[in-house]
Amino acid sequence: MSQAEIERRHEEAEAHIRATVMNELCAVMDRTKLPPMTLLRLAARSIGEIYRDMADAHAGIEPCPCGWRPHRETDIEVLTAALRTACARRAVADLGRMPVAGTA
């Protein structure tokens, strides 16, 4: 698989996850009237719980056959760095590569 294909798959996956999470957060905010920061904190906790569930499924006597082996300390560092980078993301010069800001 080419590097361009890998990047395309990553971008598609990120766009799908972002749109899904954004839609769900907006729906929950509308339904619960909780403030955005509360929901973002809950979403971050949920990601941590999802990581733990996935890590558990990939460890032990009969781990998932995909080959991933969790390394809690470094995995948490990677997840933390991804959150920091995404929060600090600056404007993109190429408008075609900018993430969609909302839904119409």
Query: pLDDT by residue (tens digit) across 41-86?
Result: 999 999 999 999 999 999 888 888 898 999 999 999 999 999 999 9
Q: What is the pTM of this model?
A: 0.76
Nearest CA to 40 out of 22, 54, 15, 53 is that of: 22
Q: Which residues contact 63 (CB under 8 A, 6 or more apart)?
A: 57, 69
pLDDT tens-digit readout, 1-17: 899 999 999 999 999 99
Domain ranges of the chain: 3-97
Work out the angle between the directed axes of helices 3-32 and 36-57 (0-180°, nearest 10). Answer: 130
